[in-house]
Chains A and B, each alone.
Chain A
Amino acid sequence: MKIKSLSRAPAPAGSDVVRQPRNLDPSQHPFERAREYTRAVNAVKMERMFAAPFVGQMGHGHVDGVYTMAKDPGSLERFGSGSGDGVIKVWDLVSREEVWSVRGHENIVKGICWTPDRKLLSCATDKTVKLWDPYNTESKSPPLATYLGQGAFTDISHHRTEPAIAVASGAISIYDLSRPASAPTQTLRWPTSTDTLTSVSFNQSETSVLASTALDRAIVLYDLRTSSPLHKAILNLASNKVTWNPMEPFNFAVANEDHNIYIFDMRKMTRALNVLKDHVAAVMDLEFSPTGEELISASYDRTIRLWNRDRGHSRDIYHTKRMQRVFSCKWTPDNKYVLSGSDDGNIRLWRANASDRAGIKSARQMQKIEYDQALIRRYSHMPEIKRIKRHRHMPKPIKKAGEIKREELNSIKRKEENVRKHSKPGSMLRQPERTKMVLGTER
């Protein structure tokens, strides 16, 4: 008879390491789903507990409201902002201190942008575009160059490689920075349009293409090589900003007055790629993240929202009692922080992911963080987790406005359905949400 009994070798004496053998047999791990689910609930609760997105504000801010910001494409740390009293300041993101400032204009600084060789351009409603050198000159020094225009300028954008800028007023004026002359080298306008353009943006990937939005609710695309406009699309309401997707050169997003953000494909303007709905007032500023996957929007309703490009609703909302109407927002180039410039004159720095913490994490910490994120993704369809995950504190007026808006939209929809029910089938066709806002297109 062969007899053997289970015996385990004892741990070697004097060793500090405690052994933890594993056995992955499922019969030794009962209640897998329930335990994972409980861990997922804990993880989502902790994520909400650790959500502290506000990092700080820049220096002491501006005196008047901040209406425009621009980040230096060649640096991870510097960015500039322009305010309503004509003051332009350059900030250092790391120390959150002011580095350079000047009272550049007499009116509102409407647009600001950097050139590839680290100089700052600003345009204002006093019909001037001024070129500054914040790295090499002192504060309050005079501009390097001034370009005069016919009308008040509303926005400015720089070409990716060439020393050319596009400034928007009644039409787009292309100035050549290498020439000291004041006249624009080209003027681009849609032949039949007379209204002011509110924003202009060069495509940084497809470098000859630019887009503009105007007060006559139009979005116009231009090509520099042919010196002519390409395409015009008219929406229901005017757009405040157009921004290109850095990773997908043919996609751009517009921030519209009807509280929505529309993402369009340049090649097919009859239909939006996506409609992002969550704001309760006009969307003033918009930017894609450096990865092209996410967006940030600043709205007149005193909040900024972060969006994922694929989904239809915001993934996060940032607000403070002290932050009034937000007119500008930007991503930092490292994709981790966002900036908001608002009416109260402050520029605030926020985390892009509210529960993230900066700093080097140990391998075990990283593992735990990634495990928690995977758990939340795995169980995100469960009602309890969904509820906790999307729970945000919203200011009462915004919440109320959202509820009223939803009720009104539902009642409009209900009335439309009633009419449809009592009319001949096929007489009232349904229109997809993505085409509803486009009134017409022209070539």
Chain B
Amino acid sequence: MDQLDKISGQDTEPSNGQHRQTTLARKRPTAVLSQEERERQRQVAEARKKYGRGRPVRLNQVKDKKLKSALRRIENKYQDAVLGAKDAEILLENQSGFLQPESALERTYKVRQEDISEAVSVQQAKKSFELKLDLGPYCANYTRNGKQLLLAGQKGHIATCDWRSGKPGCELNLNETVRDAKWLHNDQYFAVAQKKHVYIYDAAGVEIHVLRKYVETSHLEFLPYHFLLAGVENSGFLRYTDTSTGQIVAEHPTRKGPPTALAQNPYNAILHVGHQNGTVSLWSPNSTDPLIKIQANTGAVRSIAMDRSGHYMLTGGQDSRLKLWDIRALKEVHSYSTRQPATSISISDRGLAAVVSGTSTTIWKDLLTTGNSSQPGKVQSPYLNYHSSLGTQVKPNTVGFCPFEDILGVAHSSGFTSLIVPGAGEANYDALEVNPYETRTQRREAEVKSLLTKLQPETIALDPNFIGSLDVRSAEQRAREKDLDAPSREEEKMAMLKERNRARGKNSALRRHLRKKGGKNIIDEKRVRMEQMRHEKSEREKERITGEKMELGPALARIFYTSMNTEA
């Protein structure tokens, strides 16, 4: 019945006895659905699960006729849009790769890169290559569309290339320590965190900007929709710069010492900073305190990665544990143990996770989906393994999946390796969003369009859909002010105070809430407010007792208030 209400949006009581067979004919709840209608409802439910945005409005609760008809029109439009999007799936041309064992005894992790290269097409096999470079452990970064690759060696070697065709872009020898390098919004600019400051270079390797405010930056991240370059420094400062205007947007001290990991959540543009004491703090440029603090590991947090939908986070700590967190519910889902601390993690478009621990790179599949089901089971075995042919001398430094390709790029101490991981990349891209095969004019147009719709840093919040939603509290306040005959505010406040003071003792609502909330290792603003309230309450108790003690006088006070009683 609930389902019916949700799905059907139209009242179609026949006016002259004729039954109009509209797409959303609403039946009375006790009528049996025909096969057709059941099928239709199933289709709509499926489409809504994937393409729906929020729950439909319950029209039978709306009394105002004009509002009801307007809402009905809107709901119909939404329904059409959702079904149209589902139908448009027929236009998706490509299918993702896979690695399927044919018998029960075959294991996917036994498959080697050579076998994969033989089995796939020549074009694909060419995408797996190895670059032998000296000058320090490297870190690699693909552009947003996966077209260009940026390699930065710690001893000061920077190289860009179009890795598919092998065309080199630029090559720089900086002769100083390079800690991190990231592409900016397209393949025309990249930022390098060098020994002292952060430098921005052109596609040709020409130094364009020096960001002198950044001193000894250890990690960089670029938020593509906001055009913000964020960097954490060894001093613990987190700075955001708008790369289109050049202004520093925010500078926040994390106050936890040198950070050990940095990652961005692609769903809401929140930065996750990992610290020495095992905490992960979530930052936005709008507040000087972290939004949430999570006690993730017992040792330092070595690496963090988020999936594309912003639902799950993987943290690898110095305590050799790999934890899977559900960020929306703020709960730890699973905890895996790795042989060596996981120094780098990357999650692909389709949910494959590549973990570097020690000298081996392991790729796990379905790590993020098993947390969903009611009986979550841990993943028992990895999807693929990779050990470098050079043995233990080669230590992988960073990993990164190439967007829209079945390729994993491993940057290690002596160069770069590109591996084929079937099933990693998103098969069907949206050309108006990110185009891996863009031409020069398309790149220019995309740059202009994205600058026009550059998002303001004020829109970064834990829930990116708060924009456009009604501010219910202020609407309520305005309605109260408008209603001149309503009782005054003072009476309401008195009523609220009475309610709050009713709960005393061990089972106060406060304590119950804190107990039920579970995650003792998560601090967000609700918890902070609760702690503050508890603190205030205990202060008030103390004051009351000292007041009463003063009234009674020192002798009587000693009788009535022994040291045991004064403790709240």
Is A18's CB within 8 Å of the partner chain B? yes
Within 8 A of A (CB), among B303-321: 308-310
- Of A9, A19, A22, the residue contacting B430 (CB under 8 A) is A22
Q: Which residues of A contact B124 (CB under 8 A)?
A: 5-7
Hey, what's the 0/1 contact readout for A10-38 against B, CB within 8 Å counting as 1?
A: 01000000111111111111111111111
Hey, what's the 0/1 contact readout for B99-126 against A, CB within 8 Å counting as 1?
A: 1111000101001000110011101100
Contact A6 B97 (CB under 8 A): yes
Nearest chain A CB to B73's CB is how many angstroms away?
12
Q: Nearest chain-A residue to B311 (Cβ)?
A: A27
Contact B456 A31 (CB under 8 A): no
- Of B100, B310, B452, the residue contacting A2 (CB under 8 A) is B100
Q: Which residues of A contact B464 (CB under 8 A)?
A: 30-31, 33-34
- Of B116, B455, B456, B467, the residue contacting A5 (CB under 8 A) is B116
Contact B455 A3 (CB under 8 A): no
Nearest chain A CB to B224's CB is how many angstroms away?
10
Q: Which residues of A contact B455 (CB under 8 A)?
A: 31, 34-35, 38
Nearest chain B CB to A5's CB is how many angstroms away?
4
Is B336's CB within 8 Å of the partner chain A? no
The stretch among B33-41, B418-426, B517-525 that forms the contact with chain A is B418-426
Contact A33 B465 (CB under 8 A): yes
How many angstroms between the C-alpha atoms of A38 and B227 in the bound complex? 14
Q: Which residues of A contact B116 (CB under 8 A)?
A: 3, 5
Contact A18/B91 with A29-B433, A30-B267, A35-B455 known, Cβ cut-off 8 Å? no
- Of A4, A31, A42, the residue contacting B120 (CB under 8 A) is A4
How many angstroms between the C-alpha atoms of A7 and B225 in the bound complex? 28
Is A389's CB within 8 Å of the partner chain B? no
- Of A4, A18, A21, A38, the residue contacting B454 (CB under 8 A) is A38
How many angstroms between the C-alpha atoms of A30 and B226 in the bound complex? 12
Within 8 A of A (CB), among B388-447: 405-406, 420, 422-433, 435, 437, 439, 442
How many angstroms between the C-alpha atoms of A29 and B309 in the bound complex? 10
Contact A28/B467 with A6-B425, A38-B455, A42-B452 known, Cβ cut-off 8 Å? no
How many angstroms between the C-alpha atoms of A7 and B126 in the bound complex? 12
How many angstroms between the C-alpha atoms of A2 and B120 in the bound complex? 10
Q: Nearest chain-B residue to A21 (Cβ)?
A: B431
Contact A25 B102 (CB under 8 A): no
Contact A3 B121 (CB under 8 A): no
Contact A1 B430 (CB under 8 A): no
Nearest chain B CB to A420's CB is how many angstroms away?
8
Nearest chain B CB to A407's CB is how many angstroms away?
18
Is A147's CB within 8 Å of the partner chain B? no
Is B479's CB within 8 Å of the partner chain A? no
Within 8 A of A (CB), among B53-100: 53, 85, 88, 91-100
Contact B120 A27 (CB under 8 A): no
Contact B468 A379 (CB under 8 A): yes
How many angstroms between the C-alpha atoms of A32 and B464 in the bound complex? 8
Is A417's CB within 8 Å of the partner chain B? yes
Nearest chain A CB to B18's CB is how many angstroms away?
29
Contact B99 A3 (CB under 8 A): yes
Residues of B near any A CB (own CB < 8 A) = 50-51, 53, 85, 88, 91-102, 106, 108, 111, 115-116, 119-121, 123-124, 225, 266-269, 308-310, 405-406, 420, 422-433, 435, 437, 439, 442, 452-456, 459, 464-468, 470, 484
Question: What are the 10 tightest A-B residue pairs by CB atom distance, in nearest-first order?
Answer: A20-B431, A3-B119, A5-B120, A2-B100, A5-B97, A23-B430, A24-B85, A6-B97, A34-B459, A33-B467
- Pairs across A and B, CB under 8 Å, 21 listed: A1-B108, A1-B111, A3-B119, A3-B120, A6-B94, A6-B422, A6-B427, A21-B430, A21-B431, A22-B88, A22-B432, A23-B428, A25-B430, A26-B53, A28-B430, A37-B459, A37-B467, A38-B453, A42-B453, A379-B468, A381-B470
